[in-house]
Amino acid sequence: MVMLLSQGVCLLGAVGVGWTLLAPVDARTSVNTVNTVNTVNTVDAIRIDTAKPLMKVFHAGQLVHTYPVALGKPDSATPIGSWRIVNKQRGWGSGFGTRWLGLDVPWGIYGIHGTNRPASIGQFASNGCIRMRNQDVEQLYALIPVGASVTVTGDPLRHLRKLEYGHVGADVQLVQQKLRQAGFYRGPCDGRFGVGTQFSLVYFELSRQLPMDGVVDVDDYRALGLLRP
């Protein structure tokens, strides 16, 4: 997998096939801010639903702020899962705005960061990272500590794609989990389609009388119980 830092874009994530345009959120529209945002000195949790490019920030279970963000494009989706902030940096790289909050996603380098493309906020425009307006990420950076939780929800199979060697993502992780449950895979469920995943998939295909091509297609998804027959 290649990471290219260019023009404020995180070029990370897997390449998929077939996608649907999603309606963007208008970042020019003000987002309601809970009054308590000015009375807390720290926050401890972030929640994002990938169906809509908004970030909700919590303190002790109470919503204290909502920010418009930019999320990943359908072929480079923002990683779905439960993560932690593992590092905080200023001036992390060219094009990433003024602040960086790194996440512990196992299949690549993803984070929450600013942008030099503020017009992209409210859209599905990134290559997996979570973009914020610079003034917003600076405010969040001051409030949130390393170790805080970041929960990203959504359907990993919303934009169904054929999976093959070299792909990464939450959909790959889901396939690994199903192969493990079926007794064919013993490696880490890290969202990386490597040799171990491919080898296990071929044996699974053999056991289900599917073409032994080591590629997850619609028939494989169905045999794994991830799609209805």
- Distances 119 to 26, 33, 171, 192 between C-alpha atoms, Å: 9, 21, 29, 32
Q: Which of 10, 65, 129, 167 is catalytic?
A: 129
Query: How far apart (Å, rounded) are the C-alpha atoms in residues 142 and 109?
Result: 22
* 195-207 vs 170-181: helix crossing angle, rounded to 10: 50
Could you tell me which of 63, 78, 54, 73 has the C-alpha nearest to residue 154?
A: 78
Q: Given 59, 65, 113, 167, which residue is catalytic? A: 113
Tokens matching residue 136: 């917003």
Residue 113 is among the residues annotated as catalytic for this protein = yes
* Nearest alpha-carbon partner for 224 in 165, 191, 184: 184
Question: CA quadruple 26, 30, 33, 39: dihedral positive or negative?
Answer: positive
- 2 φψ region: left (φ > 0), alpha (ψ -120 to 50), beta (else): beta
Residues designated catalytic: 113, 129
